[in-house]
């Protein structure tokens, strides 16, 4: 149970990290207000 939950959380974190990395320039531009 613990290991499975940890694995799912890790995979979700990796997916989120890859998305943030892919769109980092766009995210940064929006955060800076243009």
pLDDT per residue, tens digit, the chain (34 aa), is: 678 999 999 999 999 999 999 999 998 899 898 7
* Secondary structure (3-state) at 25: helix
| pLDDT score at 2 | 77
CA dist 14 → 7, 23, 29 (Å)? 10, 14, 23
| Exposure of 16 in the CB half-sphere (CA atoms within 13 A) | 6
| pLDDT score at 22 | 93
Give the CA angle between residues 9, 14, 18 to the nearest 5°.
150
| pLDDT score at 15 | 96
Task: Catalogue the E-assigned strands of 1-34.
Answer: none
| pLDDT score at 32 | 93
| pLDDT score at 1 | 65
């Amino acid at each position: 149970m613990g290991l499975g939950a940890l694995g799912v959380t890790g995979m979700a974190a990796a997916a989120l990290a890859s998305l943030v990395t892919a769109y980092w320039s766009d995210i940064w531009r929006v955060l800076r207000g243009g």
